[in-house]
């Protein structure tokens, strides 16, 4: 398992045609100064679970997520566990479109999820496997997922992430999709919310993260540039482009992040 996703300590299982998972709520995953799990961390959990269904319920496989959207429906749990249930919506020879629901408790009949995600995953190798138990809970370097990522500020709307073993993924050496989602959320926060947020009078929290993975990172570093867009419902909205600075600024991924207020 990738170092970034291993920190989630997810245990995977199966329930009929669905893939299930459970991971502990970790304060290291919170938006700083709050008890709110970052949406990008929840999206990374989804990425792990949805990536286990290239042949429907068969586990595991090698491949990549092409797109993922995760939307909060209510507050995530501040303690305990996050429970995930992933159901394929369409399974092709190499691609699977899946719906993942996230719960604050073991999902039962009539249970309401606090978040929902839809993703598309393309498999390179579709060999079947088995469910896995959770890895041990390891300390997060720097005390938070934000610090673990290690992005540095370039300017008021741009973050830069160097390639490292902590965030690169698979034989192509690209940056892990979850790390890209977190980088996008961090960059979007820098421009979202207007003067009141900039002055520290209000705080924003990501409620909708939609990321499209376009290409792999070939050289690096990965540069995330955010711009705020006007939204009809007045909710802060930012678009983030992640580009490969060492490969003529080739587009690696693009994310749209919508925010609410704490």
Q: Distances from the Cα of 37 to the Cαs of 29, 95, 114, 261, in angstroms?
A: 5, 29, 12, 14
Is 41 a member of any domain?
A: yes
Is 134 a member of any domain?
A: no
**pLDDT value at residue 247:** 96
**Shared-domain flag, residues 188 and 232:** yes
Is 66 a member of any domain?
A: yes
Is 110 a member of any domain?
A: yes
- The rounded distance, in Å, linking the Cα atoms of 217 and 245 is 9
**Shared-domain flag, residues 154 and 114:** no
Q: Distances from the Cα of 170 to the Cαs of 85, 148, 250, in angstroms?
A: 25, 19, 20
**Shared-domain flag, residues 241 and 178:** yes
**pLDDT value at residue 123:** 76
SS3 category, 117: strand
**pLDDT value at residue 61:** 54
Is 163 a member of any domain?
A: yes
**Shared-domain flag, residues 113 and 186:** no
**Shared-domain flag, residues 49 and 156:** no
- Residue 176 has, within 13 A of its CA and on its CB side, a CA count of 24
**Shared-domain flag, residues 106 and 28:** yes
The CATH number of residue 200's host domain is 3.10.129.10
Is 131 a member of any domain?
A: no
**Shared-domain flag, residues 44 and 115:** yes
Q: Residue 159's domain spans which residues?
A: 150-261
- The rounded distance, in Å, linking the Cα atoms of 239 and 257 is 6
Q: pLDDT truncated to tens, each residue of the chain (262 aa)?
A: 678 889 999 999 888 888 899 999 999 999 998 999 999 999 999 999 987 754 544 444 567 899 999 999 999 999 999 999 999 898 887 788 999 999 999 988 889 999 999 999 987 655 544 466 788 899 999 999 999 999 999 999 999 999 988 888 766 678 999 999 999 999 999 998 765 555 566 689 999 999 999 999 999 999 999 999 887 777 889 999 999 999 999 999 999 999 998 8
**Shared-domain flag, residues 167 and 96:** no
Is 169 a member of any domain?
A: yes
**Shared-domain flag, residues 76 and 188:** no
pTM, rounded to two decimals: 0.92
Q: Which of 125, 141, 166 represents a domain boundary (last residue)?
A: 125
SS3 category, 146: helix
Provide the number of structural domains found in the chain.
2
**Shared-domain flag, residues 106 and 195:** no
**Shared-domain flag, residues 17 and 50:** yes
């Amino acid at each position: 398992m990738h170092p970034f996703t291993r920190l989630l300590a997810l245990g995977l299982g199966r329930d009929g045609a669905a893939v299930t998972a459970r991971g502990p709520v970790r304060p290291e995953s919170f938006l700083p100064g709050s008890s709110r799990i970052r949406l990008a961390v929840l999206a990374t959990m989804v990425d792990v679970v949805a990536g286990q269904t290239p042949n429907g319920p068969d586990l595991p496989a090698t491949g990549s997520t092409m797109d993922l959207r995760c939307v909060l429906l209510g507050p995530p749990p501040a303690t305990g566990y996050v429970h995930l249930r992933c159901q394929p919506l369409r399974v092709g020879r190499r691609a699977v479109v899946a719906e993942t629901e996230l719960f604050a408790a073991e999902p039962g009949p009539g249970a309401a999820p606090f978040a929902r995600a839809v993703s598309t995953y393309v498999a390179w190798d579709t060999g079947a496997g088995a469910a896995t138990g959770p890895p041990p809970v390891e300390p997060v370097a720097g005390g938070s997922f934000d610090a673990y990522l290690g992005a540095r500020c370039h300017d008021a709307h741009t973050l830069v992430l160097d390639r490292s073993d902590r965030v690169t993924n698979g034989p192509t050496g690209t940056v892990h999709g979850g790390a890209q989602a977190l980088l996008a959320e961090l960059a979007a926060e820098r421009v979202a919310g207007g003067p009141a947020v900039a002055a520290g009078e209000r705080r924003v929290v990501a409620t909708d993260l939609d990321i499209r993975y376009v290409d792999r990172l070939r050289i690096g570093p990965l540069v995330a540039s955010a711009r705020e867009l006007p939204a009809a419902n007045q909710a802060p909205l930012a678009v983030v482009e992640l580009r490969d600075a060492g490969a003529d600024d080739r587009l690696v991924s693009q994310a749209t992040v919508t925010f609410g207020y704490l």
